Amino acid sequence: MAMSAPDFEQLATILATRDNAVAGLTHAELLELERGLGGMRLPLAYRDFMKRMGRDAGPLLAGTDAFYPQIIDYQAEAWELVSDEKIGHLVPAESIIFATHQGYQIYWMSSEAGDDPPVFMYQENDQKISRRWESFSEFVYGEFERFHSGRQ
């Protein structure tokens, strides 16, 4: 499905039509999220996604801890993985770790790389970046395509 990026309102509408379980964040919750993710400026694309689907995105990112408030709770665990795996050179201090998957994968983006920054994924024991997306919106649409095509 091709969409002009980022159009998270359209994506939320599509997901809600299928699942009726899409819920976004309030302004106050977005501020709490920003504080919980290190107090850095949240990139515009990420902020827009969270505003529309930050509490629940239906089947999108199922099994991944990427939603409010859990992602705040998992910050210490995610940064501990960075420390334990000695990959601080891959995940700079200005990074926003916005998702974890079952304790062995982390997803992050730079708070300083623009409105729709590249996204990186690290998988435990890899010692290198496991996957890269050109932007946060590309990451989200890729996850939607994976769900939409049944490749879960």
113-135 pLDDT, tens digit per residue, is 999 999 999 999 998 999 999 99
Question: What's the token pair of residue 108?
Answer: 């992050």
Question: Does residue 98 form part of some domain?
Answer: yes
Q: What per-residue confidence (pLDDT) applies to 17?
A: 75
Cβ neighbours, 10 Å, residue 41? 11
- Where does the chain have alpha helices with state H? 8-19, 27-36, 44-53, 70-73, 75-84, 136-149
The segments of the chain whose pLDDT lies below 70 read 1-6, 18-20, 149-152
Question: Does residue 2 form part of some domain?
Answer: no
User: What residue numbers bound the domain in which 134 lies?
Assistant: 8-149
- The CATH number given to whatever domain includes residue 113 is 3.40.1580.10
Question: Does residue 130 form part of some domain?
Answer: yes
Q: What per-residue confidence (pLDDT) applies to 136?
A: 97
Residue identified by tokens 């599509």 is 14
Q: What per-residue confidence (pLDDT) applies to 28?
A: 97
Q: How many CA atoms lie within 13 A of 146 on its CB side?
A: 12
Question: Does residue 3 form part of some domain?
Answer: no
How far, in Å, CA of 150 to CA of 152, rounded? 6
The number of domains in the chain is: 1
Question: Does residue 1 form part of some domain?
Answer: no
β-sheet bridge partners, residue 119:
133
Q: What per-residue confidence (pLDDT) applies to 18?
A: 63
By 3-state DSSP, what share of the chain in percent is helix, strand and coil, each rounded to 5?
40, 15, 45
Question: Does residue 125 form part of some domain?
Answer: yes
Cβ neighbours, 10 Å, residue 106? 28
